[in-house]
Structure 1
């Protein structure tokens, strides 16, 4: 169980730390680090909320059947987080163009109240999502004894390693020119937001909230393609493939489950998951292009003197 706890904690903590790190680094790079305390407040409140969820399932609820209701909370968090992150992507794209890399000697970016609230709420939601997922994963591997999993050396070591990896990543990011930083983090956040969206779509199909355009002869949700042979999205899928075909997939399921949680990877996507994933990229690209055209038109419009 210790090794399982290590993998779970490392994966969930690293995802949250990377996203929170992007927000904090972004605020610092544009000279608005005074807002960082509110981001960390969101993280702290999310940790308290996650602890409350763990306590509720440990003390109040009994049996895994009672935990089924968490799925609807997870769907809501995934979709809201994707929307908030999209707003942040567009906001960062606008600021990145206005600053023009290192040309300006002083950053004149002004954060609106709405943008600050967006970052705080997103920091809360992304941490809460990872915290709740960790609680349910711990419940599964410990047979319901969540406290035992939390106190294991694997959970502590996973958290420490995630912090070290995230710190190393953002320490190097400080040396990256501001314009390059915005481009890299912008692309990074688009990938994460698309993954959150497609995870939400997939879960809604699993619980019957969303239908499909393509079904198998047996009436099940059909897949456009199947990449289990390359990288299964879960260790169980890895074992099942090895059992059924006598050969192991090229990439281990532990890698697949990381990319699933981090970027929304799916080994056998439905039509809706495929369209949601690639449609999101098209939508964000269209919104950024539209935003640039509006800004260009505003700059080129001549000012008529009275």
Structure 2
């Protein structure tokens, strides 16, 4: 549970940190440090989004009937998968132009006297925050862990690590291959999402929204370790990829279909994406001039 949520928060947090770094660097480059407080105000408001969304999704369903909880849980799980899948594929095809797009939007806001900068930061960072909240909630629900303590600690640690990396990258103290990081973390999230698809389908089957509950594809529940060394890897597999030793046929179909469709799309998207100069990220720093760019 900790590892899955830590990596989700790290990936989403690092993306948000890079976005903030781009916005900060642009304002510094054009000499408008006076607008930085508005930018940070938008970031602060966006940071509250996952808290509100997470609180509602965690405690709100308990006032509902069992069937309503299952319907809400299954629907939100599939919605979380849809959002994270869209984000992964969008990043694969549009990451190269993200900096230019953000700077264009910010330039327009600056030309209008700084109005709208709060909204740019709010939308850019808020999207990552909401996706993180929904995906972490979905992974927590899929492991049937009613405690919010471990996921909360994992998210805080992941976001703190992402924020520290973002600052170091902005300062030029750390250079990492962002392309490779997002590629491998994207594959990891796709595998996690496939497990959530299976879990969401199971919730909807239990609520009789989808047919097939009780039609097990196989039953290996007798192999579930209850003691000894096998408990640790089993618990880790359940927390990270939603390992299920007794799925329905529809759950198996959903898991396989998701991977068969999304993995090739993701690999195609990342192959098309141009690599940044030098293979590492300097997204938070101004682009070099043409003269410097043409010299080795």
TM-score bin, normalised by smaller chain: 0.5 to 0.7
**Paired residue for 2:230, among 251, 257, 276?**
251
Query: Which of 1 and 2 has higher RCO (CA within 8 Å, sep 6+)?
Result: 2
Structure 1 runs not aligned, ≥5 long:
1-10, 100-105, 139-149, 233-237, 240-247, 297-306
**Paired residue for 2:16, among 20, 23, 27?**
27
Provide the residue aligned with 1:40 in structure 2.
47
TM superposition shift of 1:282: 1.8
Can you list the C-alpha shifts for 1:55-83, whole angstroms capped at 9, x where unaligned?
Answer: x95xxx6xxx9555322111111010000
TM superposition shift of 1:184: 1.7
Cα separation, 2, equivalents of 1:158 and 1:20: 10
- 1:119 and 2:128 equivalent? yes
**Cα 1:290–1:166, aligned 2, differ >3 Å: closer, same or farther?**
closer
Query: What is the TM-score with the length of structure 1 in the denominator?
Result: 0.57
Q: For 2:100, what is the secondary structure of its paired residue? A: coil
**Cα 1:109–1:37, aligned 2, differ >3 Å: closer, same or farther?**
farther
Provide the residue aligned with 2:72 in structure 1.
73
Query: What is the TM-score with the length of structure 2 in the denominator?
Result: 0.59
RMSD: 4.5
- 1:226 and 2:220 equivalent? yes
**Cα 1:172–1:274, aligned 2, differ >3 Å: closer, same or farther?**
farther
TM superposition shift of 1:125: 2.4
Provide the residue aligned with 1:94 in structure 2.
93
**Cα 1:277–1:37, aligned 2, differ >3 Å: closer, same or farther?**
farther
**Paired residue for 2:100, among 101, 108, 120?**
108
Structure 2 runs not aligned, ≥5 long:
24-38, 106-119, 167-173, 275-296
TM superposition shift of 1:85: 0.5
